[in-house]
Amino acid sequence: MPGPRALLGLGLLVAAARAGGRCRERGWSWSWNRGWNRGWERGWERGRCLPHRAMHSPGTARPGPAGLRFLGQEEAQAIDQELFTEYRFSVEQLMELAGLSCATAIAKAYPPSSFTTSQPAVLVVCGPGNNGGDGLVCARHLKMFGYQPTVYYPKRPSKPLFEGLTTQCKKMDIPFLPEFPAEAEFIDELYGLVVDAIFGFSFTGAVREPFGSILSTLERVTVPIASIDIPSGWDVEKGKADGLQPDMLISLTAPKKAAMHFTGRYHFLGGRFVPPALQEKYALNLPAYPGTDCVLQLT
Amino acid sequence: GPRRPPARSPRAPKSLPGVERGPGCARGLGTALSPVLSGACPQGSRAEAEAMEKELLEDYRFGRQQLIEIWGHACAVAVTKAFPLPSLPRRQPTLLVACGPAQNGAIGLVCARHLRSFDYEPTIFYPKRSPDPLHRDFTTQCEKMDIPFLSYLPTEVQLINDAYNAVVDAVLGAEGTEGTAGTEPCAAILATLRLVRIPIVSLDVPSGWAAGPGGSGDISPDVLVSLAAPKEVARRFQGRRHFLAGRFVPEELQRKFGISPREYPGSDCVVAL
């Protein structure tokens, strides 16, 4: 009498859609023994703020774990397309998981108790596309985690997905600013963190207004900036040496080549939804996420 | 000189004047009377759960797929808390996920997918597939994650006991009525679930419980994951662990439906009750 598993294997299993075996190998288990550095709190207090650039010398980009691939723009777009067409995910689903990852990474690196502002106030700047949508989801989760997010969302696509996400935020008492703070100092005074959800991996060409002015202001801000997927304004592969210098980068799905130029303190991987088969196909070599966490700290 | 920020009122966050606010910002006056307070729906009742879901979809403009994704992910997290990988008795981290034909089944599909990404080995039994394109997409996503789908559930219960560490019951949930609980294939699944000796995790409402008052025919889940708020029938639950997946419920809805606020650990989407 064959064992129960064999019996199930022989008689009962409908052939899985893919004939190949599963690859369980995720390589090494990435563990990074780095205590949470609260020293930055003292540096960021008003009146003693240091500009980002002074704290990080250019060109000290940290490499990721050995073997981890950094994607080019076309590759990133191809993977995205495959998730929607082959794997039948919806933008709605993946955006929810991506935004949750961003909020979770922020909660790990900048817990509410670490804010020097009296409330853990966060400014979320949302761009005109999917990166902006990720920002809206992130804002909603930040609210649930006890932060006080405020959104600036100047160019809103008239699609049900984005209208729905906007309504969800508004109904949860998340204010939407009518105009962008005119001065960087104003942002520094009101918020302890800025989330850059302006442009993502599809960004090409010139930055259109109002985002040019917004990015100029953000470049002068001294509170930490957390960029979703790509620091906005950067070339997705080459970066931008004189552009935004965020303190945190949350790479979604897999890091893009621009991340090699990232010199901020926190690089997280998020978007824990890539099926093993897709990971294999593109040889992403993603390190293992810890437990059920939807984020993985890379540096 | 530079514009000074307005003085903060006690409850409102700092903001610039003229800030857009949604209707949820109105406190006290003007908010609709809770269906609970108005006596229209008893607390924890199916009618109340439906009213909340309606409000999430119509007023808050959540997408249905978005909600199912949120619920399925939260259920998977709860399963990993109830049955951490190192604690599983079998050599392989196998789980059987039994999915019914309606929304509870779809939640089970999403749960299975997340369990797979958490390195468990779920196997799905989904005999009566919903024609809803949304549910079909959830099915494809599971297939593409190499999750096997059983073509039939063995009636010899020992096979199930031996093959899997636990069963996730996503068969009927709150949708179970006397009618559906008695029809095939749900009736056969429930008959089998009554006999398994491995732990059962029920999603939202143990399948068959909503059909009527508790009896000896009820399945006895080890773990219950309540969605949004515990349902009335959850009072009969006597299993080991009860989780609430309610972090996604906006504060205004919690107040409106009389859901007591809970402390969720860290950024967890579920809390043990």
Residues spanned by the domain of A289: 91-297
- The CA distance from A257 to A237, in Å, is 5
- The CATH fold assigned to B64-272 is Rossmann fold (3.40.50)
Query: Has residue A81 been placed in a domain?
Result: no
Percent of chain A with pLDDT over 70: 78
Determine whether the interchain pair B73/A97 forms a contact, defined as Cβ–Cβ distance below 8 Å: yes
CA of B138 vs chain A CAs: smallest distance (Å): 8
Whether B1 has a pLDDT exceeding 70, the answer reads no
Residue A6 has a pLDDT of: 46
- Which tens digits make up the pLDDT trace of A35-54? 333 333 233 333 333 333 33
Q: Provide ipTM, 2 decimals.
A: 0.84
Query: Has residue A18 been placed in a domain?
Result: no
Question: What is the distance in angstroms between the CA of the first residue and the CA of the last residue of chain B?
Answer: 54
Residue A24 has a pLDDT of: 39
- Which tens digits make up the pLDDT trace of A95-111? 999 999 999 999 999 99
Query: Has residue A258 been placed in a domain?
Result: yes
What residues of A form the annotated binding site for K(+)? 131, 196, 232
Chain B CB contacts of A90 below 8 Å: 65, 137
- The CA distance from A232 to B270, in Å, is 33
Whether A220 has a pLDDT exceeding 70, the answer reads yes
Taking every pair of Cα atoms in chain B, the longest distance, rounded to a whole number of angstroms, is 81
Query: Has residue A267 been placed in a domain?
Result: yes
Task: Kindly state the DSSP code that residue A103 receives in the 8-state scheme.
Answer: H
Q: Which two tokens stand for residue B86?
A: 């190192």
For residue A295, the one-letter residue type is: V
Percent of chain A with pLDDT over 90: 76
- The CA distance from B10 to A18, in Å, is 58
Determine whether the interchain pair A177/B147 forms a contact, defined as Cβ–Cβ distance below 8 Å: no
Contact (Cβ atoms closer than 8 angstroms) between residue B18 and residue A152: no
Find the range with the poorest average confidence among A129-143, A185-199, B43-57.
Answer: B43-57
Query: Has residue A3 been placed in a domain?
Result: no
Query: Has residue A164 been placed in a domain?
Result: yes
Mean pLDDT computed over every residue of chain A: 84
Determine whether the interchain pair B24/A167 forms a contact, defined as Cβ–Cβ distance below 8 Å: no
Burial class (CB within 10 angstroms; exposed 0-12, middle 13-18, buried 19+) of A156: middle
Interface test with chain B among A171, A250, A279, A294, by most B beta carbons within 10 Å: A171
Chain A CB contacts of B59 below 8 Å: 171
Per the structure, how many domains does chain A have?
Answer: 1
Whether B7 has a pLDDT exceeding 60, the answer reads no
- Which tens digits make up the pLDDT trace of B186-240? 889 999 999 999 999 999 999 999 877 777 778 999 999 999 999 998 999 999 9
Beta-sheet strand order (sheet of A13-14): A13-14, B149-150, B121-125, B94-99, B166-170, B200-203, B223-227, B241-245, B271-272
Whether B3 has a pLDDT exceeding 60, the answer reads no
Interface test with chain A among B3, B4, B9, B14, by most A beta carbons within 10 Å: B14
B49-53 mean pLDDT = 93
A12, A87, A175: residue with CB nearest B21: A175
Query: Has residue A78 been placed in a domain?
Result: no
CATH number at residue A116: 3.40.50.10260
Contact (Cβ atoms closer than 8 angstroms) between residue A192 and residue A223: yes
Residue A208 has a pLDDT of: 93
Chain A CB contacts of B143 below 8 Å: 16-18
- Which tens digits make up the pLDDT trace of B133-186? 999 999 999 999 999 999 999 989 999 999 999 999 999 988 876 666 678 888
Question: B225 CB contacts (<8 Å, ≥6 apart)?
Answer: B74, B75, B78, B79, B201, B202, B203, B204, B243, B244, B245, B270
pLDDT band at B42 (very low <50, low <70, confident <90, very high): low
Query: Has residue A77 been placed in a domain?
Result: no
Whether A23 has a pLDDT exceeding 50, the answer reads no
Residue B212 has a pLDDT of: 73
Interface check A33 vs B, CB under 8 A: no
